[in-house]
Amino acid sequence: MRNLALDIMDAAVEYGDAVALRRRVDDVYMEMTYRQLAWNIDRCGGALVDLGLAVGDRVAIFSPNLPEWFVADYGTLSVGGVSVPIYATNTTDQAAAIVDDSGARIICAGTANELAIARELLKRCDALTTIIALAPGLEAEGDGVHTLAGLLEGEVAAATRAELATRRAAAGMDDLATIIYTSGTTGIPKGVMLRHRNFNNQFTTLDTRFEVGPHDRSLCFLPLSHVYERSWSAYTFLKGVENTVLSNPREVVEALATVRPTVMVSAPRLYEKANSAIMTRVEAAPPLRRKLFHWAIDVGHTYHTARYGGESPGLAVRLKYAVADRLVLTKVRNVMGGPKNFFSSGGAALARPVEEFFLSLGLLICQGYGLTETAPMLTANSPGAFRFGTVGKPVDEVEIRIGEEGEIQVKGPNVMDGYWNKPEATAEAFIDGWFRTGDVGHLDDDGYLVITDRIKDLIVTSGGKNVAPQRIEALIGRDHYIDQMAVVGDRQKFVSAIVVPAFAALQDFAEQKKLQFADHEELIRLPEVVELYANRIREAGRNLAPFEKVKRFTLVAKEFSQAAGEITPTLKVRRRVITKKYHDLIERMYRPEAGGSE
Mean pLDDT value across residues 216-237: 96
Decide if 109 is inside a domain.
Answer: yes
How far is Cα 513 from Cα 515, in angstroms, rounded to an integer? 5
Residue type, 376: P
Do 294 and 243 sit in the same domain of this protein? Answer: no
Do 25 and 80 sit in the same domain of this protein? Answer: yes
Decide if 338 is inside a domain.
Answer: yes
Domain limit, last residue, from 329, 347, 363: 363
Residue 130 has pLDDT above 70, yes or no: yes
Query: Where residue 184 falls among pLDDT bands split at 50, 70, 90?
Result: low
pLDDT of residue 141: 86
How far is Cα 142 from Cα 237, in angstroms, rounded to an integer? 35
Do 240 and 292 sit in the same domain of this protein? Answer: no
15 touches 34 (CB < 8 A): yes
Residue 2 has pLDDT above 80, yes or no: no
Do 104 and 158 sit in the same domain of this protein? Answer: yes
Q: What percentage of the chain exceeds 90 in pLDDT?
A: 80
To 10 degrees, the CA torsion angle through 192, 196, 201, 205?
90
Do 159 and 272 sit in the same domain of this protein? Answer: no
CA distance to 37, 264, 395, per residue, from 229 (Å): 18, 9, 18
Mean pLDDT value across residues 126-142: 95
Decide if 399 is inside a domain.
Answer: no
Query: Mind listing the pLDDT tens digit for each residue in 80-93?
Result: 999 999 999 888 99
Domain limit, last residue, from 322, 340, 363: 363
Do 483 and 523 sit in the same domain of this protein? Answer: yes
List CB contacts of 290: < 8 A, sequence separation 6 or more. 282, 283
CATH number at residue 47: 3.40.50.12780
pLDDT of residue 598: 41
Residue 71 has pLDDT above 60, yes or no: yes
Residue 510 has pLDDT above 80, yes or no: yes
Decide if 497 is inside a domain.
Answer: yes
Do 167 and 288 sit in the same domain of this protein? Answer: no
182 touches 190 (CB < 8 A): yes
Do 350 and 470 sit in the same domain of this protein? Answer: no
Task: Look at the chain and report how many structural domains it folds into.
Answer: 3
Decide if 372 is inside a domain.
Answer: no
pLDDT of residue 582: 96
CATH number at residue 533: 3.30.300.30
Query: Mind listing the pLDDT tens digit for each residue in 30-50?
Result: 999 999 999 999 999 999 999
How far is Cα 314 from Cα 67, in angstroms, rounded to an integer? 47
Decide if 181 is inside a domain.
Answer: no
Do 238 and 304 sit in the same domain of this protein? Answer: no
Residue 443 has pLDDT above 60, yes or no: yes
The pLDDT mean for the chain works out to 93
Residue 597 has pLDDT above 50, yes or no: no
Domain limit, last residue, from 363, 391, 425: 363
List CB contacts of 561: < 8 A, sequence separation 6 or more. 567
Identify the domain containing residue 305 by its residue range: 267-363
Decide if 392 is inside a domain.
Answer: no
Buried b (16+ CB within 10 A) or exposed e, 309-325: eeeebeeebeebbeebb
- What secondary structure, in 3-state letters, does 213-279 show? CCCCEEEECCCCCCHHHHHHHHHHHHCCCEEEECCCHHHHHHHHHHHCCCEEEECHHHHHHHHHHHH
Do 113 and 35 sit in the same domain of this protein? Answer: yes
Decide if 199 is inside a domain.
Answer: no
Q: What percentage of the chain exceeds 70 in pLDDT?
A: 98
Query: Where residue 269 falls among pLDDT bands split at 50, 70, 90?
Result: confident
Do 243 and 326 sit in the same domain of this protein? Answer: no
How far is Cα 115 from Cα 368, in angstroms, rounded to an integer? 35
Q: Is 329 helix (H, G, I), strand (E, B) or coil?
A: helix
Do 28 and 87 sit in the same domain of this protein? Answer: yes
Q: What is the reported pTM?
A: 0.88
> Which regions of 428-548 does DSSP assign to beta strands (E)?
430-431, 434-443, 449-454, 459-460, 466-467, 482-488, 495-501
Query: Mind listing the pLDDT tens digit for each residue in 84-120?
Result: 999 998 889 999 999 999 999 999 999 999 999 999 9
